[in-house]
């Protein structure tokens, strides 16, 4: 039962932080609206929440640094919007997943191009 509760709290934290990022509520200039919260892992006792953030741009580390500096503000916003006794302490981490996906797609595009710039076809 505890796993279900931590999953629900994690999903709610992911949604609320995503809204803060996209809505421009975080005033740190390092926090880009293209940052994406990929997953949230909440500890069993709900004391900590590890938030994994990814981006399609190369400045992921600066964006995560901006989120870390705004962690107090984000924590306060979560406490207001979530109706639980204790709000988990937020810790941000980089997740290079989206950037790796874009790099793989670029490599596939390069491999499928003909020397004349045309794409190979199955015919």
Is 75 a residue whose pLDDT tops 70? yes
Q: Please compute the mean of the pLDDT values over residues 38-51 and round it to a whole number.
A: 94
Is 115 a residue whose pLDDT tops 60? no
Is 47 a residue whose pLDDT tops 80? yes
Residue ranges per structural domain of the chain = 2-96
pLDDT for 85 equals 86
Q: Please compute the mean of the pLDDT values over residues 19-32 and round it to a whole number.
A: 91
Q: Please compute the mean of the pLDDT values over residues 80-103 and round it to a whole number.
A: 87
pLDDT band at 84 (very low <50, low <70, confident <90, very high): confident
Between CA 81 and CA 9 the distance in angstroms is: 12
Task: Note whether 26 and 73 are within 8 A (CB).
Answer: yes
Q: Please compute the mean of the pLDDT values over residues 64-87 and round it to a whole number.
A: 92
Q: Which CATH architecture has domain 2-96?
A: 2-Layer Sandwich (3.30)
Any residues with CB less than 8 A from the CB of 30 and at least 6 apart, and which?
59, 62, 63, 65, 66, 69
């Amino acid at each position: 039962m505890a796993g279900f509760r931590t999953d629900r709290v994690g999903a709610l934290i992911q949604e609320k932080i995503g809204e803060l990022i996209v809505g421009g509520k975080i005033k740190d200039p390092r926090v880009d609206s293209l940052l994406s919260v990929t997953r949230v892992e909440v500890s069993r006792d709900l004391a900590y929440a590890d938030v994994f953030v990814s981006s399609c741009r190369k400045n992921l580390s600066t964006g995560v640094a901006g989120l870390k500096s705004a962690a107090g503000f984000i924590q306060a916003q979560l406490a207001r919007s979530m109706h639980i006794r204790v709000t988990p302490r937020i810790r941000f981490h980089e997740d290079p997943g989206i950037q790796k996906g874009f790099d793989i797609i670029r490599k596939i595009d390069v491999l499928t191009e003909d020397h004349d710039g045309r794409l190979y076809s199955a015919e």
